[in-house]
Chains A and B, each alone.
Chain A
Amino acid sequence: MRRIISATVLNESGVLNRLTGLLTKRQFNIENITVGHTEDPAVSKVTLTVWVEDDRKAEQLVKQLHKQINILKVRDLTNMALVSRELALIKVLTTPDTRSEIKMLIEPFRATVLDVSLENVTLEVTGDSEKVDALIELLRPYGIKEISRTGITAIPRGTQKKVLELHPYSIM
C-alpha cells in the first residue's frame, strides 16, 4: 500500500542521507521524496511516498525514522485529510498548428506556459498527482520531450474528521 509520510528534520548536512539510507537498509522502496525548509530555517520537512506491504511494515517505518537523532517528528499522513500537491514541468513538442490547441487543452488544468520556442513549449502544472498524470496523458500524443516532477508535498488539513475505524499503531 502507498503511504505518505512526513518527517520534520534538523536542517543539517547528511540528514537526508541518514533518512534514505535507513529506508534502503530496511528495504523500503521510496516512490518519491521532497524536501524543503519550513517556517524555521533550521528545520526542514521531508515528505515521502513509499510502498509497504502492510500496516506493520508502515508502523516499523515510522518507528525506525523516529529513532534517528536529528529527525524531530514523523507522521504517517496516509489516513488523514490532506492537502497534497505536486509540481511538474512538461516540455511538449509543438508545431505552429498545435500550439493553440495545447493552450486550450491545458486551460482546465490551470497549467501555465513558462517558455515557448519554435519546436516546443514548457508548461507548469500544480495539483495532486492524479491531475498531473492526467495532463501528461493528454499531452503525450503531441510528443513529450522532457518531464520534471517534484514529487508530492503534503500537509494535513486544519480540520480532521474523527476517524474511528482506523487500526491505531500499537504505541505511536
Chain B
Amino acid sequence: MKASWVAEQKTVESSLVSGAELFIQGLKNEKVEVVFGYPGGAVLPIYDALYKAEMKHVLTRHEQGAIHAAQGYARVTGNPGVVLATSGPGATNLVTGIADAMIDSIPLVIFTGQVATKVIGTDAFQEADIVGITMPITKHNYQVQKAEDLPRIMKEAFHIANTGRKGPVLIDIPKDIAVNKAPLKEVSDIHLPGYQPTLKPNILQVKRLNEALQMSKKPVLLTGAGVLAANAEEELLAFAEYHQIPVVQTLLGLGGFPADHPLCYGMAGMHGTYAANMALYDCDLLIGVGARFDDRLTGNLEHFAKKAVVAHIDIDPAEIGKNVPTELPIVGCAKETLTALNQTCGEKGNSNEWVIQLSKYRSELPLMYKTNDKELKPQKLMEILHEVTKGAAIVSTDVGQHQMWAAQYYTFSTSNRWITSGGLGTMGFGFPAAIGAKVGRPDLPVVAVVGDGGFQMTLQELGVLQDWELPVIVVIVNNKSLGMVRQWQEIFYEKRYSHSLLDIQPDFVKLASAYGIEGRRAENEAEVREALEAALSSNKPFVLDCAVSADENVYPMIAPGKGLHEMIGVRG
C-alpha cells in the first residue's frame, strides 16, 4: 500500500511565506468570514498576520465567550465557527465550549497557539497539552509539526468538522511553526481513508422501513438536530404528511418540523409534552431521525418505546444501538435517507386512530401553568417574547428552567432559530452564543434568554455588544436563584436549598449602563411587552431584567429513574 493519504500539494508560487500567512490563506480558502478569538503570547505571529490581512475578528472578553459565540454562529449559518486562542490558559479556557460543541455536534475549527516546538514538553511558560486535553472532546485534533503541513491540515480540519456527524476539530500551532517559512501551496484533494462518512442509506433497509410503516398502526417520528444539520426539513415534512406519522422532537430538534403543524406533538423528554411522551411510550414503530436517544429524552430505558419496532436513521453508525436496541438501523444523512424513503414509499400506513388519540392528549393535556395578577410568570414571559418577535427571532439559552420554558413556550416553526446547550447543559452559553448568532445573521432579531445565574458566568461579553453595537436583546429570567437546582432541591431534597439561592444580585440595569447599553427592569407583563417592543424598534443592544416569580417550577416533569408514562405535573 502506498502512503497515499498525504494530500497532493502543488506549489502555487515559488515564494515562501510564514506559517501565519499560510493560516490566513487557509481561512480564505475556506471562505471564513469571521474569527472569534483572544490574543496572547504564543499566538502573536498569527494575530500579526490577521492584522495585515484585515480579517474580521470578534474580540471577546474571555475565550469561553469566543467559543460559545462561534457555536452560535455555526448554528445559524451552517458554516463552521472559527475560534483562535493562545496557548495554555487561553486554550484551556476553550475546553467547556469544545465539549459542548462535541456533544451537540456543532461544527467548529479551533486554532490554539502552542509554545515553540523546541520547548514543548518542558513545562514552558503558558504550555498546556491541549491536544491531549481535548482528545476525548474533539472529533479530531492536530498539532502542526511543520509549517508546510498547515494548508493540508486546515483543509482536512474544515472537511472533518463540517461533514458526517459534525463536530469540533482543534489545530494546535506552535509559535515557531507560525513564524517558519514554507511554500504557499494549494491543497488539491483530501485523502482521509479512515474517514468516509456514509451519506446514502442502504436501500434494502429503506424498503424494510417503508414496509414496517405499512404494518404499523401507531408510528411516531422522533426528530433531532440531525434533521437541521442536514437541512432535511422539507423531506421530513413530506414523509410525515404522506404516511400521517405524528412527529415529536428532541430539545435540539425544535424548529425542524413546524410547531403549528397538526402532526406536531411538541418536545419529548424530561420536560416534554404529555402527548409527545405518550407517543414514544405507546408507539408500535419508532423512527428516530438524527436523534441520539439522550437519557434526558428517554427517561428510564426500561419503559422506553417497549412496544415498538425501533428504526434509527443516523449519520453516525455508533449512535445506532448505543442506548436503544434497534431493529431497523439505517446509516445515512437525514436528507438522503428521507429522500430515499419518500421515493420508495408504497401505500400509506393507517395511523388515523393513533393520530386522533394523540391529538386528544394534545388538546386535553397541553402545557399549562397557573397565572395570577401579582407575579410575572416565566412561561408568560416566553409567550410575550414569541408574540412581540412574531416567532421570527433567534433564541439562544443557557441551561436550566429558563431553557425549558423557552423550549416549551416559544414555539419554533422555522429551523435554525433555536440555539441551546443541550447535551452538556452549559451555564454561560446562551449570551455569547447569541452574539455569534447575530454576527452570522444580522438580518434577524436575536434574543439571549438567560437565567440570572448563567448570565453572571459570561456577562463580561456585554463589552462585545457595546464594541460592535450588536442589537442583541438579553432577557434575564430573574428568579434570584439557580432555578433548576432549586427545583430539584425542592422536589428531591426536601427543600434543603443548599447554595442555590442568589439573594444578592447586581443591578443588571446599572451593569448594562456601565457598558453603555440600555437596560430596563420589568416586573409585569405590560412592562415586558413595552420593553421588548422598544428594544426591537431601537435596534440596539438591550438588557431586560425580568423579575419572575421565584418559586415557579418547570412542569410537566419525568423524575430521574422514571419512565415516559410516569410524568408528574401534567395538569399544571
Contact = CB atoms under 8 A, between A and B. Distances in A.
A140 to B, nearest CB: 40
A56 B321 contact: yes
B193 A59 contact: no
Nearest to A74: B194
A100 B557 CA distance: 76
Contact of A171 (B5, B136, B160, B317): B317
B139 to A, nearest CB: 8
Nearest to B327: A170
Contacts of B192: 69
A82 interface: no
Contacts of A170: 320-321, 326, 329
A112 interface: no
Contacts of B1: 39-40, 42-43
B89 interface: no
A56 B325 contact: yes
A96 to B, nearest CB: 50
B132 interface: yes
Interface in A9-59: 9-10, 14, 17-18, 21-22, 25, 39-40, 42-43, 56, 59
Interface string A152-172: 000000000000000000111
A70 B194 contact: yes
Nearest to B4: A42
B135 A171 contact: no
A75 interface: no
B131 A66 contact: no
A39 to B, nearest CB: 8
B318 interface: yes
A40 B136 contact: no
Nearest to B328: A170
Contacts of A59: 321
A68 interface: yes
A63 B3 contact: no
A10 B5 contact: yes
A4 B331 CA distance: 25
B140 A69 contact: yes
A39 B2 CA distance: 11
Interface string B314-349: 001110111001100101000000000000000000
A69 B3 contact: no
A67 B194 CA distance: 8
**Residue among B132, B317, B325 with most chain A CB within 10 A:** B317
A159 B316 CA distance: 32
Contacts of A67: 316-318
B528 to A, nearest CB: 44
A98 interface: no
Contacts of A10: 5, 194
A148 to B, nearest CB: 27
B8 to A, nearest CB: 16
Contacts of B5: 10
Given A60-B318, A63-B318, A171 B329 contact: yes
B326 A69 contact: no
B320 A69 contact: no
Given A43-B1, A72-B194, A66 B321 contact: no
B317 A72 contact: no
A71 interface: yes
A53 to B, nearest CB: 14
Interface in B129-174: 131-132, 135-136, 139-140, 160
Nearest to A41: B3
Nearest to B192: A69
Contacts of B326: 170
A130 to B, nearest CB: 33
B230 to A, nearest CB: 18
B331 A171 contact: yes
Given A40-B1, A43-B1, A63-B318, A22 B136 contact: yes
A10 B135 CA distance: 16
A150 interface: no
Contacts of A171: 317, 320, 329, 331
A157 B113 CA distance: 48
B330 to A, nearest CB: 8
A68 B331 contact: no
Contacts of B139: 69
Interface string B345-384: 0000000000000000000000000000000000000000
A25 B325 CA distance: 21
A95 interface: no
A43 B326 CA distance: 34
B168 to A, nearest CB: 13
Contacts of B3: 40, 42
A63 B317 contact: yes
A63 B326 CA distance: 15
Contacts of B135: 14, 17-18, 21
A78 interface: no
Given A22-B136, A63-B317, A63-B318, 13 more contacts: A14-B131, A17-B132, A21-B136, A40-B3, A43-B1, A64-B318, A66-B317, A68-B140, A69-B160, A70-B194, A72-B193, A170-B326, A171-B329
24 contacts: A10-B5, A14-B132, A14-B135, A17-B132, A17-B135, A18-B135, A39-B1, A42-B3, A43-B1, A56-B325, A60-B321, A60-B322, A63-B317, A67-B316, A68-B194, A69-B139, A69-B192, A72-B193, A170-B320, A170-B326, A170-B329, A171-B320, A171-B331, A172-B317
Interface of B: 1, 3, 5, 131-132, 135-136, 139-140, 160, 192-195, 316-318, 320-322, 325-326, 329, 331
Interface of A: 9-10, 14, 17-18, 21-22, 25, 39-40, 42-43, 56, 59-60, 63-64, 66-72, 170-172
Q: Please list the 9 inter-chain residue pairs (A to B) with the smallest Cβ-Cβ separation, ordered nearest first.
A: A63-B318, A42-B3, A69-B140, A40-B1, A170-B329, A72-B194, A171-B329, A69-B195, A25-B136
